[in-house]
Chains A and B, each alone.
Chain A
Amino acid sequence: MDLRTNYLGLDLAHPIMPSASPLSKGLDRIKRLEDAGAPAITVYSLFEEQIDQESHQLDHFLEFGTDSFAEALSYFPDLGSYNVGPDEYLNLIRDAKKNTSIPIIGSLNGVSDGGWTRYAKLIQDAGADALELNVYYIPTDPKLTSADVESLYIDVVKAVRAEVSIPLAVKLGPYFSSPANVLNRIVEAGADGIVLFNRFYQPDFDLEALEVVPRVVLSTSDDLRLPLRWTAILSGRIQADIALTSGVHCHEDVIKALMAGASVVQVAAELMHNGPSRIKELLAALTAWLEEREYTSVKQMIGSMSQKSVREPAAFERANYMKALASWSDDPTGKLI
């Protein structure tokens, strides 16, 4: 079975790759992923805030309380160097390139168009085969229009595109009035691929402490359907590769994603739960499924159930919604069927 696929111009052995996550924190883990069969790895994200914050924090604590009191003009020894900023990350990219034989995709998470975009160039210079730009923005200002927000995304993509020549993928969330339009403009701004979708971790309330707390809930297969729909809608309509992420847990999820039009699926929660060896299990199940149905290659099925390819394009639109509601009302238990 020909499992090969092509994503961002990179030839991959198969379409199931780990997404940017703690799974790639450190060379050991990256090597473990390669050993488990990952065809490429998107390394965990370098955060814009993290780069600046580490520097500011170090500066703050090295300066705090200094030159104030005659007996204690400082509180820490002056060390030769500090791995602040992107150094640690860039070293990891370098090491990963040196010690693996699969494509390594860097990931940069930011939102402003400030000086941090130069880190994209540094990631490229460190040897990354491609770059995934993760734009994560919560527009809390009531005066900010959707047009403002969209421009912000486009500007960031343009700024990063100007910095790098390697393939560029953009990962973002689904919350746009017109996702198709925004994603198309992002491609026009220079993206070679789009990653659907970023998971927005919603904060929770701790009722004992009366505090807002972060709570990470990993995805389930139910989460697949949002990116699945939009992958299907966009497949063939935008000039870019699509990677589907969020909700890929079993081989059926992989198949659906590919059929919707994704060149690859990116998996995190499933591998975090069950370990990197899960890649091989998924692959075996995928292969068996394909063989059973006499497919000859993965490429053959990519986009086979995109909106453009199906007989009833309306299935991805309003009619589907009405059908869903109707099916719910038919069920006395209230369960959606």
Chain B
Amino acid sequence: MSRTYVTIDGTEAAAHVAFRTSEVIAIYPITPSTAMGELSDAWAAAGKKNIFGSVPIVQEMQSEGGAAGACHGALQAGALTTSFTASQGLLLMIPNMYKIAGELTSTVFHITARALATHALSIFGDHSDVMAVRQCGWGMLFGNNVQEVMDMALIATASTLESRVPFLNIMDGFRTSHEVLKVEMLSDDDIRSMIDMERVGDHRKRALSPDHPVIRGTAQNPDVFFQAREAASPYYAATPGIVQTAMDRFAALTGRSYHLFDYVGAPDAERVIICMGSAATTTEETVHYLIESGEKVGLLKVRLFRPLDIHALVSALPATVKTIAVLDRTKEPGSGGEPLYQDVVTAVAETLSAGTAPFKTFPKIIGGRYGLSSKEYTPAMVKGLVDEMAKPEPKNHFTLGINDDVSHSSLDYDPSFSTEPDDVVRAVFWGLGSDGTVGANKNSVKIIGEETTNAAQGYFVYDSKKSGSITTSHLRFGPRPIHSSYLITSANFIGIHQFGFLERYPVLETAAPGAVVLLNSHFNKDEVWDHLPKSFQQTVQARNLKLYVIDAYDVAKATGMGVRINTIMQTAFFAISGVLPRDEAIAQIKYAIKKTYGKRGDAVVQKNNAAVDTALAHLHEATVPGRSGEIQLAAAVPDNAPEFVKKVTAEIIANRGNELPVSAMPVDGTFPTATTQWEKRNIALEAPVWDPNTCIQCGKCIMVCPHACIRSKVYDGALLESAPGAFKSTTAKWREFADKKFTIQVSTEDCTGCTLCVETCPAKNKSAVGLKAINMAPQRPLREQERTNWEFFLGIPDLPRDTEAVRFNSVKNVQLLRPLFEFSGACAGCGETPYVKLLSQLYGDRALIGNATGCSSIYGGNLPTTPWAVDAQGRGPAWANSLFEDNAEFGLGFRLTLDSHNNYAKVVLGQLAAQIGDGLVDAIMTADQSTEAGICAQRARVADLKATLAGIDDPRARDLIVVADTLVKKSVWMLGGDGWAYDIGYGGLDHVLSTGHDVNILVLDTEVYSNTGGQASKSTAMGAVAKFAAGGKPSNKKDLGRMAMAYGTAYVAQVSLGASDAQTIKAFTEAESYPGPSIIIAYSHCIAHGIDMAKGLQQQKAAVDSGAFLTYRYDPRLVPQGKNPLQLDCKGPIIPLQDFIYNENRFRMLQASNPAAAAELLDQAQKGVKAHWKLYQQMAAAEVGV
């Protein structure tokens, strides 16, 4: 049977089988599993069929809980059904998983195993999630690399149909799910051969049908529940045998042989490691290496973890084994050991006592943890472990891969130990996300994997920042299949695609002696040496590296590639790495270009081809003289940073986080805020420069800056005496501050260069209208000067919040409030962060913020540095992320506690009134905190109170000190995106709105799941193309605001900064002042809209002008005054809908791919917009009964 070789990742490998063997697929996005749903949706949209000849129905749900429910129902109705998930998503499926297993239902869910959120969220891989469902009664099969993932998907599917036990097909998140590897594709005939159609028929016959009705899901009593639960036991007992039979049939079909437990290594091994997942491949590689040098070591790969066949496990071990080390990729705090360890101990004990074990004495069994959150697991660690096993008293309950200097659990190892074979090309590339490095490398892997007989592997490491993000690519090419599931530790090729990385990152750390280094440099081959950091030069000399340079940006500019240097660097790589003959390589690159870009049009293919043709003429080997210079690596943070930032944060920034010991970490996930200010990323090529003479001091640039890099202050002119020479200042244009000075200062080093400020600036230079009051200029020459100016600016006092001269209710005045959310990792030009920053300006000094998982929790809370900041008094937002689905409930909890503590404080105040003083107590109890001045006055009173309490020797006084701050008004906010508010968290959000408690909900509405890469939510507009809605979303955007209004007791507003910044501020202030639940739905442009982000505000305005997004405020306080609570702040549709939507790729894509559908949906959407507006007009005009 002929099969094709392809280079794909683990998600595609699993989805390939899942799609072909399913009739119903219920999906929900969660990293790193999302791609499986995306592929299924795209295949279904393209009419691809399963092996039964029908197109599977792919249904996006509102949560993983919903997906599991839909699967359960589909299964009950007899469909072959699947889903894909990971991490918390899998946890949300648990209730249904029990049901599905309890009803002996055949299904396979495909899992990209990922860490569970505990002290912190992590998107990366380990087995915490799958270990948390091991008790549900599902079979659990582990595929250790991309090929095995595909194979196990089919084996699991065949087994579940035969055994009736549902299965999880598990791969390691990222390491396997996102590794691109050359694999042999299973054909439809292979799949058909493995699927027993009689069993498929049995599954369908068990379906609920009114034609032969049965009842399931009964309630049972103590008399029979237990027996009924045991009735399924024979099915579990039979399952391992069924799986082995399926594996044997599979081996006969494909030649790839698997067993429940596969032993590899010395037949007389004394030390055996037991593990599962991608670690098994790395261990296997190392075991083979060690056997070569005479070590008696072995590995037992666990494939079927549940149902656990202890006899098969133990009998797979060599009789000679003396020490067993069991590796678990999870942590179960407080347990007697992690799950696999406990199972192995049990298996050995049971079989030994039964006399069925191959050995007669109890071997030493140690267990340990490794690889949490994709922590590297390398041959060096395996070597460290087998060395430890050789000790008379090896450490048990160890950790591997970290330095645990607290509990001293970690094993030592020599990181320089390497098993990398010499005949494998090992290439590491450092690039920016925006330069296309990863895409080109994926292409290179495909070229080698699919067009040559060589094996190929690619793995890619990404940044947690969404702007200026750095990527590293690890590519291996070799004559044998590659099973090295770890990052390259010794590279014979290093590509450095950004010259700026040289000063910041250890780019040559992995360079092997004699390695080839390719550097994108604007200095030519003779000049470049003297511009390299000293440590770089010394490494080149010491390791005898060959250095090549190419000015890729110059080539890109000349060939119309802009900043995408991918094709150019790829061409240079092939030219000097020797992976393929040069001419063949170029032909293959061009073929790949045609395949990748062909359908985007000839012009795109032509420009890429031109880049290939031009690249080689600009590639030169650099002169490497004997001398070295004095350029030092830049410090990660400045000297005046706080101690924690210098000791911990700086190490993470400098890519040395892996070396931090356990003792450096907070024990409970608590971190200091205000740390982004220490990480000067300097990612903008151009930054804004203020022109005081043109400026009208309106504050719009400050309002819109997504990264809070533009600030203004009004201050006393006397302060300018110590100002740096280049510091700009002008007379303040406020009646109230006529005698003051005014400055707009840019934090040039934190700017991302998005240009939203310039776009929004309304002031034009009278002599040259192309210039505004703020204009972009090259960043590099500004850097030093503006750093000094910024430091001076920060020293100018902020306007006190209780300033009586102005009220902070207009754009002009709000600009003077210090943002307490700054320099986040959000995309350049982000549409969400201006709202978040506004919240921080208005209420940050007294805000508790609960943040739903999503973009805002990542740019708001992903290490190394976090943007929530503090004011001069040390106050600032206190922020926490619970989960994706529970954020409204989480935030409500804040309010309940604040109210409870406030009540308690008042009770104790009353009890201690005599000692404290009636006057102060009375003033605190009756304080009016409806204004900033009132709040500041209360703060002063509470400070007095604390001072007084300190002198009172009474336990109640000591207790009151702790809760006294709750006597000052606090502002509770729940933040999140539309994925949270419209979909997964809607139930909770709806409930919170109904409670009447004083909380504020800010929905950052991008109309799509932005953080996971653009899947449709219920907020997605009709006709927009999104993932899971590849054919254009057929239904209207859900009207969340109207649903919230239905209570009549919640404040509801829709705002769009680009349409009206004044209305936005008004809504925020009204929401905060409303003494009940408030919800603000804030239209946020997004990278997932496919727009020029600099035009984001224009699109926000167009959204409102077209009527696609209405701005309004609904204030229940107006009802008692006899007024209609709904105030429309927009004019309804004043431009055609198409004038808004066809500026955005998400809509244009449909126009390009399916013009007829686009026209139909546009027509429907346009009618819908008009009808929606009419409805709102009627609602706003209705008479209100008091």
User: Chain A interface (Cβ within 8 Å of chain B)?
Assistant: 51-52, 54-85, 88, 115, 210-211
Contact = CB atoms under 8 A, between A and B. Distances in A.
B38 interface: yes
Contacts of A84: 599-601, 1152
A69 B34 CA distance: 14
Interface in B29-57: 31-32, 34-35, 38, 41-42, 45-46
A73 B601 contact: no
The winner among A63, A77, A82 for most chain B CB atoms within 10 A is A77
Given A61-B1145, A83-B1152, A78 B42 contact: yes
Contacts of B31: 70-71
Nearest to A68: B433
Given A58-B604, A67-B471, A73-B1013, 20 more contacts: A51-B603, A55-B601, A56-B601, A66-B433, A67-B436, A68-B433, A68-B463, A70-B123, A70-B178, A71-B32, A71-B123, A72-B1012, A75-B1014, A76-B1090, A76-B1146, A77-B45, A77-B1030, A78-B42, A79-B42, A84-B600
B597 A59 contact: yes
Q: Which 9 A-B pairs have the closest CB atoms?
A: A68-B433, A55-B601, A72-B1013, A67-B438, A61-B1145, A84-B601, A70-B462, A61-B1090, A75-B1014
Given A72-B1013, A76-B1025, A82-B1152, A59 B601 contact: yes
Interface string B421-442: 0000000000011101111001
B1155 interface: yes
26 contacts: A54-B1152, A58-B1152, A59-B601, A65-B433, A65-B1087, A67-B438, A67-B462, A67-B471, A68-B433, A68-B438, A68-B466, A70-B123, A70-B174, A71-B1012, A72-B1012, A75-B1013, A77-B41, A77-B42, A77-B45, A81-B599, A81-B1153, A82-B1153, A83-B1155, A88-B1155, A115-B602, A210-B769
Contacts of A63: 436, 439, 564
A281 B539 CA distance: 86
Interface string B848-870: 00000000001000000000000
Contacts, number: 153
Nearest to B602: A85
Interface string B200-237: 00000000000000000000000000000000000000
B1088 interface: yes
A54 B597 CA distance: 13
B469 A68 contact: yes
Interface residues of B, number: 64
Nearest to B434: A68
A64 B42 CA distance: 20
Contacts of A82: 599-601, 1149, 1152-1153
Interface of B: 31-32, 34-35, 38, 41-42, 45-46, 123, 174, 178, 432-434, 436-439, 442, 460, 462-466, 469, 471, 560, 562, 564, 597, 599-604, 606-607, 764, 769, 827, 858, 1010-1014, 1025-1027, 1030, 1087-1088, 1090-1091, 1145-1146, 1148-1149, 1152-1153, 1155
Contacts of B1153: 79-83
B731 to A, nearest CB: 24
A73 B1030 CA distance: 17
Contacts of A83: 1152-1153, 1155
Given A54-B601, A63-B439, A71-B1013, A79 B433 contact: no
Nearest to B607: A56
Nearest to A84: B601
B1177 to A, nearest CB: 29
Contacts of A65: 433-434, 466, 827, 1087
Given A69-B469, A83-B1155, A74 B601 contact: no
A65 B438 CA distance: 12
A44 B832 CA distance: 41
A292 B46 CA distance: 65
Contacts of A211: 769
B471 A68 contact: yes
Nearest to A70: B462
Nearest to A62: B600
Contacts of A71: 31-32, 34, 123, 858, 1011-1013
Contacts of A60: 562
B612 to A, nearest CB: 16
Nearest to A91: B1155
A1 to B, nearest CB: 42
A314 B197 CA distance: 94
Contacts of A78: 42
Nearest to A81: B599
Nearest to B431: A67
A281 to B, nearest CB: 31
A161 to B, nearest CB: 22
A76 B1149 contact: yes
The winner among A51, A72, A74 for most chain B CB atoms within 10 A is A72
A79 B1148 CA distance: 12
B271 to A, nearest CB: 36
B38 A77 contact: yes
Given A55-B603, A85-B603, A77 B597 contact: no
Given A65-B433, A68-B471, A82-B1152, A58 B600 contact: yes
B695 to A, nearest CB: 16
A211 B769 CA distance: 8
Contact of B601 (A58, A61, A66): A58
B1011 A77 contact: no
A25 to B, nearest CB: 12
A68 B607 CA distance: 22
A314 B844 CA distance: 83
